[in-house]
Structure 1
Amino acid sequence: PARPRGRPAPAGTRLLGQSWRRPAGPRAGPEPGSGGLPEGVEYIPTRKKGKNPMKPVGVAWYSLYARTRLGYLFYQRQVKKARERYPHGHSAPQPCCFPGVKILPIPVLSNNYSYLVIDTGSGRAAVIDPSDPVAVQAAIEEEGVMLEAIFCTHKHWDHSGGNAALRQRHSSCKVYGSALDAIPELTKEGLHGEVGVWGYWGGGADSAPLCPVQPACGQGEGGPFGGPPCLFSGDLLFLAGCGRLFEGSPETMLASLDVAVGLGEDTLLWPGHEYALECLTFASLLELDNPALEQKLQWATQQRQEKRSTCPSTLGEEQTYNPFLRTHRPELQAALGLRGGGGEHPDAFRARVLKEVRRRKDLYKAT
């Protein structure tokens, strides 16, 4: 466990929880009171165990970003700065081609991804989460396709901010999104299991983001298109990570992740952000002896050094190293120091494991 910086504290010193600082290179681990302090030093926690000290700040900012015009102005500033810093995008896109379909990641903002899904036979296209309309329009023109649909996984400006501009330019374009979310320019509410020309909606639990999966690309009835199914997960699931719990509970997130995993191991995961290196590094602090995780981290490090995208992965692969999909694994539970209670339902225990992983990840990002 980490101990405070500076000279050793004399015997009898009492260290308040909020004065404790992590050393450089943060590590997920037990609270400092569990051992490792000099003899005679007492650690006095000032917060309940497991509470995220960044959460009050995070929730306040999230409310401003998601529910007020201030959030839209911040998004516009994000777009302007990203265009200046990354004139060609933050990563080198790597398109995937299947019989009749091409999926082109579009790197936007500082770490977001939009996706252009193209029916190569007809030249029609749909875009997922068009953050920057200029970047998306450039991809549409370069590919020489006609935009027919916009799919928004959720309302956040960094996923939906380009809807209005693209609809102005492509007047016949439909905007699909959750009936439970305030998505800009929404023209078609997508409900869980609903089939459409471009695919069907595979939603999470309760108000969790709904994500379009298995794009049908003009074959109708949501049928297969000659390649593996796809999950465009927005902020729900990342490579080796998952979204923060701003509007839901650990139980809701667990249920949503279980829905995603149920799509099948060969499902391609196309996340809304390039967080792979950070998430894998954090995961490696929890599971020190996971060969799949170590190998993926080495690969992602090389990819990011070359400014290459790390997507897609597969849901089968994710279950070997993503801690948020491994809440059932005894080795992760042991690493967290958690045990199920005698009468505790297995899913309730898994939600408790997920909550602890999320808490540690929030602290890791905050340091």
Structure 2
Amino acid sequence: HPPPGVKILPIPVLSNNYSYLVIDTGSSRAAVVDPSDPLAVQAAIEEEGVMLEAIFCTHKHWDHSGGNASLRQRHGSCKVYGSSLDAIPELTNPLADREKVSVGRLTFEALTTPGHTVGHTAYVLDGGPFGGPPCLFSGDLLFLAGCGRLFEGSPETMLASLDVAMGLGEDTLLWPGHEYALECLTFASLLELDNPALEQKLQWAAQQRQEKRSTCPSTLGEEQTYNPFLRTHRPELQAALGLQQGGGEHPDAFRARVLKEVRRRKDLYKAT
């Protein structure tokens, strides 16, 4: 759970997206991550009685940025943060890699994580001041048991970005841009047939979704036990895909090849 002093409100929007309202409960100052549906976000802002100071946009796709303009119109002093490499609507404050932004006592750090789009940026909320774990708002970089499609990047690029995320520590809470848990876990279970952590998480997610509950957050430590896109170094996954490291092939080049094959199969799985 998020630490005391911070409230993280997942707002389900469109068919399977999440926007997140992140509140410093001490000052009632708030930020929103990826506000695609401005009405849903505005309703949450009013219900919580908070002041919106910042919009953090992970990337340009409309289902993550569609509400930027109307929310800025309504909240005049609100700033829009994101990468200058993505054509993010209403961008006021371009962020560089590792740049930090404070909203009340909340400190967000931008992580440049290209792959899904050229300028994709994930955001890490520092849990330190609240005595809790960091929170990763991963957009379409990383989902529960999945990763984003490679629209504007190579498998090598995506692998490097996932490695950046995995450098955050196992207790980090993952808040992804979509509710894809059931689909991703089902796909993963077809790859790794004998993975107890995966089977357990799949059963849990099925129950959650049956009860119309969110599957967020998971932890990065957990993700490493069942997310195939984070298991490219695992011999059991490599064997399941029928892939072997070539003599003289760099380990990261091989991992990128594993990631490419998992992504190819996932795209085919999604198309059926």
Distance in 1 between the 2:35 and 2:24 partners? Answer: 18
3-state SS of the aligned residue for 1:148? Answer: strand
Gaps of 5+ in 2: 93-125
For the 8 Å contact 1:100–1:226, the answer to whether it is kept is: no
1:68-108 alpha-carbon deviations (Å, 9 max, x no partner)? xxxxxxxxxxxxxxxxxxxxxxxxxxxxxxx2110000000
Instruction: Quote the offset at 1:225 in angstroms.
Output: 2.7
Distance 1:144 1:226 in 2: 25
Cα distance between partner residues in 1 of 2:36 and 2:174:
19
- Offset of 1:222 from its aligned partner? 8.9
* Per-residue Cα deviation, 1:209-250 (whole angstroms, up to 9, x for no partner): xxxxxxxxxxxx996332210110001100000001110000
**CA deviation map 1:337-364 (0-9, x unaligned):** 0000001000000000000000000000
CA distance in 2, matches of 1:246, 1:152: 17
| Matched-pair contact (CA < 8 Å) for 2:127–2:133 | no
CA RMSD across the alignment: 1.1
Partners of 2:127 and 2:134 within 8 A in 1: no
> Does the CA-based 8 Å contact 2:127-2:135 persist in structure 1?
no
Distance 1:222 1:101, change over 3 A: closer
Deviation at 1:273, TM superposition (A): 0.2
Structure showing greater radius of gyration is 1
Q: CA deviation at 1:179?
A: 2.2
Q: How does 1:1-367 map to 2 (within 5 A)?
A: 99-187=4-92, 224-367=129-272
The structure with the largest strand share of the pair is 2
For 1:225 and 1:130, locate their aligned partners in 2 and report how far apart those are by CA, in whole Å.
Answer: 25
How many residue pairs are counted as aligned between the two chains?
A: 236
Q: 2:5, 2:26 within 8 Å by CA — same for their partners in 1? A: yes
| Kept in 1: contact 2:175–2:216 (CA 8 A) | yes
Distance in structure 2 (CA, Å) of the matches to 1:250 and 1:133:
33
In 2 relative to 1, CA 284–222 (structure 1 residues): closer, same or farther, beyond 3 Å?
A: closer
Q: Give SS of 2:130's match.
A: coil
C-alpha distance in structure 2 between counterparts of 1:305 and 1:246, whole Å: 31
- 8 Å CA contact 2:135–2:173 kept in 1: the answer is yes
> Shift of the alpha carbon at 1:180?
1.6
SS of the residue aligned with 2:35?
coil
1:305 CA drift (Å) = 0.6
Unaligned runs of 5+ in 1: 1-98, 188-220
Instruction: Map Cα deviations across residues 183-209 of structure 1 (whole Å, 9 max, x no partner).
Output: 10111xxxxxxxxxxxxxxxxxxxxxx
In the alignment, is the contact (CA less than 8 A) between 2:13 and 2:37 conserved in 1? Answer: yes
Moved over 3 A (4+): 221-224
Deviation at 1:330?
0.2
Q: Is the 8 A contact 2:142 2:176 kept in 1?
A: yes
